[in-house]
């Protein structure tokens, strides 16, 4: 267990460091053209940590990282580069992200020193009701037209570029078009994800044709091209989002959702979707106020509902701040409590008590429940009613279980020479989305609507509804100190996204780790479940101590795939990706020298 005074000292050093951060407008002079390679990073090699100036990019994938870096080097800003990277991930990480998915952007606007968020979450069709998923076996919903939400990504890209960017959608799509047309090298992760999906991909003519050429997953080291997607992106660039939202591409999506192209003779039962062209035409991106908590003098900004990312990370941080000491036990317990409240109160519904969930008073009441031993399972939700007693146990209430969520999506961080910062989660939900490629268009549909509670569950804030957005766990996060960026981070991993972000912050600010150490450290995830899922390294390190205090662990091979950028002061940036998880990520900087 770490003594809080030491932790505060460490944070003070860190916060002090941020004072050195240069004025955003003068953070770095325009970069002279130079080779994208650095001595430590010959072309073709990914590295997990990069330090330098003038902008930084952290992604799971080198091609996407390069798309962002080249956009920055050509004078684009962080938002331009983030859209370029996201579109490229739709090519190289097509099972995690794509134009038919959705996502959340948290953005720091350096000029106005303000944090914005952009909600591009998928929505339920208007025909969907609270009982539409009742009785549907989860596995059947995963591969179905029924689970496909109205896509948000294209609208989000257009909105983000118009509101904060400097280039057109057509321009932002260019690097992705090039990768799709020329091809990328199949790595182990792409191969394994294809193989893991082969059982369902083979049941759809369009998906089998694209991702199982010759009947099997493309071999590692081969070049994978997606000319259909290249053409789709070209048309999108020319015609804009209207081609999808109410236009011919939208009609094709609706046709695919309603009559999935099931291979003749397949025994698979594929439920059709409820989506209509009018649902696509009605789709709207929403700019929302960010969630904000103050933690050790730093301001932590996150994504508000329909994501539970900002509220749950924020509440857990507040709980930790209310405790005299913080170590792995407190991390797990704070997370357990925050998840109990997430399940009970957070969804795409009016009246989420967000301010109370993020209040110090509520956190104090919740923190009082944390003792020497692990709490009894399940933790009941608290009562965020504004009346908080000193160390009063929360009244007994029914606990809401944390439903299963898919383990995949992707996150990227981009910063630019002006000091703007983008933290961006983009997803199609399951690895491989709903498994159905829109014929001739080169992209998979999402199955985001499986993030709803299937029910029956009266009073659950996350039941489906017409035009509703399923509750997310995505937690793109930006931390400011003195109004200037200090850290931006996020991760994939369904509901483990929240604990991965929280654990990295705890590692960094409570356990005194550097950011690369904080990202690489073994993870554990407690989401108000009887057992805490944990990577072997976490159990090796803390298992004996925590088991003696009543924690129980279940092994998890790998949790999350984080990306982060830290501002070191004086305009210096440290981009950090995973050294090993999901095959390792890619950290890049615009220039290694000032």
Contact 151, 447 (CB under 8 A): no
**Binding segment (CB under 6 A) for ligand GLU, from list 125-133, 407-415, 436-444, 539-547:** 407-415
Which member of 409, 434, 507, 591 binds ligand GLU (CB under 6 A)? 409
| Whole-number Å distance between alpha carbons of 184 and 164 | 30
Does residue 348 bind ligand GLU (CB under 6 A)? no
405 lies in the binding site for ligand GLU (CB under 6 A): yes
The long-range contacts involving 385-388, CB below 8 angstroms and separated by at least 24 positions, are 385/353, 385/356, 386/356, 386/359, 386/361, 388/359, 388/361, 388/362, 388/364
- Compute CA distances 382 → 232, 295, 496, 594, whole Å: 48, 21, 21, 50
422/497 with CB nearer ligand GLU: 497
Shortest distance (Å) from residue 104 CB to ligand GLU = 8
Window 479 to 538, contacts with ligand GLU (CB under 6 A): 492-494, 497
- By CB under 6 A, tell whether 427 contacts ligand GLU: yes
Minimum distance, C-beta of residue 560 to ligand GLU, in the bound complex (Å): 9
Binding range to ligand GLU, per CB under 6 A, among 74-82, 138-146, 400-408, 529-537: 400-408
> Binding to ligand GLU by residue 356, rule CB under 6 A?
no
Q: Which helix (H) or strand (E) holds 255?
A: helix 248-258
Distance CA 198, CA 215 (A): 9
Residues numbered 450-489 forming contacts with ligand GLU, rule: CB under 6 A: 451, 472-474
Count Cβ atoms below 10 Å from residue 483 Cβ, excluding itself.
11
Indicate whether 556 belongs to the interface with ligand GLU (CB under 6 A). no
Q: In whole angstroms, what is the distance from residue 451 CA to residue 472 CA?
A: 7
Q: Which stretch binds ligand GLU (CB under 6 A): 77-85, 207-215, 376-384, 399-407?
A: 399-407
407 forms part of the interface with ligand GLU (CB under 6 A)? yes
What's the closest the beta carbon of residue 308 comes to ligand GLU, in angstroms?
Answer: 8
Of 53 and 424, which CB lies nearer to ligand GLU in the complex structure? 424
Residues serving a catalytic function are 409
**Which CB, 28 or 308, lies closer to ligand GLU?**
308
Q: Could you tell me whether strands 298-302 and 291-295 are parallel, antiparallel, or unpaired per DSSP bridges?
A: antiparallel
What own/partner pairs with CB < 8 Å and gap ≥ 24 does 427-430 have?
Answer: 427/96, 427/97, 427/101, 427/102, 427/103, 427/474, 427/492, 428/95, 428/96, 428/97, 428/98, 428/100, 428/101, 429/101, 429/147, 430/142, 430/406
Q: Is the Cβ of residue 194 or residue 473 nearer to ligand GLU in the bound state?
A: 473
Q: Which residue, 451, 407, 462, is CA-closest to 431?
A: 407
Closest to ligand GLU by CB, 80 vs 408, is: 408
Of the two residues 217 and 493, which places its CB atom closer to ligand GLU in the complex?
493
Footprint on this chain of ligand GLU (rule: CB under 6 A):
405-409, 427, 429, 448, 451, 472-474, 492-494, 497
């Amino acid at each position: 267990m770490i003594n809080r005074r030491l932790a505060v000292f460490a944070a003070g050093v860190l916060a002090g460091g941020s004072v050195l951060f240069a004025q955003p407008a003068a953070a770095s002079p325009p970069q002279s053209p130079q080779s994208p390679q650095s001595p430590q990073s010959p072309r073709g090699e990914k590295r997990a940590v990069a330090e330098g100036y003038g902008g930084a990019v952290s992604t799971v994938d080198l091609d996407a990282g390069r798309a962002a870096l080249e956009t920055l080097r050509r004078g684009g800003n962080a938002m331009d580069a983030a859209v370029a990277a996201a579109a490229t991930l739709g090519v190289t990480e097509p099972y995690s992200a794509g134009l038919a998915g959705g996502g959340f952007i948290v953005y720091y606007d350096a000029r106005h020193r303000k944090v914005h968020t952009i909600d591009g979450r998928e929505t339920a069709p208007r025909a969907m009701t609270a009982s539409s998923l009742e009785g549907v076996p989860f596995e059947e919903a995963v591969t179905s037209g029924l689970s496909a939400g109205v896509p948000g990504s294209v609208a989000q890209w257009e909105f983000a570029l118009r509101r904060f960017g400097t280039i057109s959608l057509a321009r932002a799509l260019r690097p992705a078009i090039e990768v799709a047309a020329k091809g990328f090298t199949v790595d182990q992760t792409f191969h394994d994800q294809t193989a893991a999906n082969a059982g369902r991909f083979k049941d759809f003519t369009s998906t089998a044709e694209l991702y199982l050429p010759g009947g099997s997953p493309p071999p590692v080291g081969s070049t994978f091209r997606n000319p259909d997607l290249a053409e789709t992106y070209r048309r999108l660039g020319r015609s804009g989002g209207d081609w999808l939202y109410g236009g011919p591409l939208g009609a094709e999506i609706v046709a695919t959702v309603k009559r999935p192209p099931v291979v003749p003779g397949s025994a698979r039962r594929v439920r059709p979707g409820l989506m209509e062209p009018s649902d696509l035409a009605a789709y709207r991106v929403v700019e929302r106020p960010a969630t904000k908590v103050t933690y050790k003098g730093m301001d932590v900004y996150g994504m508000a509902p329909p994501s539970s990312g900002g509220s749950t990370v924020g509440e857990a941080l507040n709980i930790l701040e209310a405790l005299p000491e913080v170590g792995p036990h407190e991390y797990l317990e704070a997370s357990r409590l925050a998840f109990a409240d997430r399940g009970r109160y957070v969804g795409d519904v009016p009246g989420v008590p967000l301010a109370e969930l993020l209040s110090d008073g509520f956190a104090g009441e919740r923190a009082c429940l944390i003792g020497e031993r692990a709490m009894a399972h399940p933790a009941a939700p608290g009562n965020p009613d504004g009346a908080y007693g000193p160390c009063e146990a929360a009244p007994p209430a029914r606990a809401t279980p944390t439903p299963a969520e898919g383990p995949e999506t992707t996150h990227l961080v981009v910063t630019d020479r002006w000091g703007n910062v983008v933290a961006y989660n983009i997803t199609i939900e399951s690895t491989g989305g709903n498994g159905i490629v829109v014929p001739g268009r080169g992209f998979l549909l999402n199955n985001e609507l499986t993030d709803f509670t299937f029910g029956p569950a009266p009073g659950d804030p996350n039941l489906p509804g017409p035009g509703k957005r399923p509750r997310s766990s995505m937690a793109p996060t930006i931390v400011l100190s003195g109004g200037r960026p200090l850290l931006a981070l996020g991760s994939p991993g369904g509901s483990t996204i929240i604990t991965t972000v929280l654990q990295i912050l705890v590692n960094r600010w409570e356990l005194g780790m550097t950011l690369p150490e904080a990202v690489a450290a073994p993870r554990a995830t407690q989401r108000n479940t009887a057992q805490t899922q944990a990577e072997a390294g976490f159990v090796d390190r803390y298992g004996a101590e925590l088991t003696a205090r009543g924690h129980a662990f279940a092994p998890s091979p790998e949790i999350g795939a984080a990306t982060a950028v830290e501002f070191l002061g004086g305009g210096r940036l440290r981009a950090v990706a995973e050294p090993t998880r999901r095959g390792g990520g890619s950290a890049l900087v615009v220039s290694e020298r000032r």
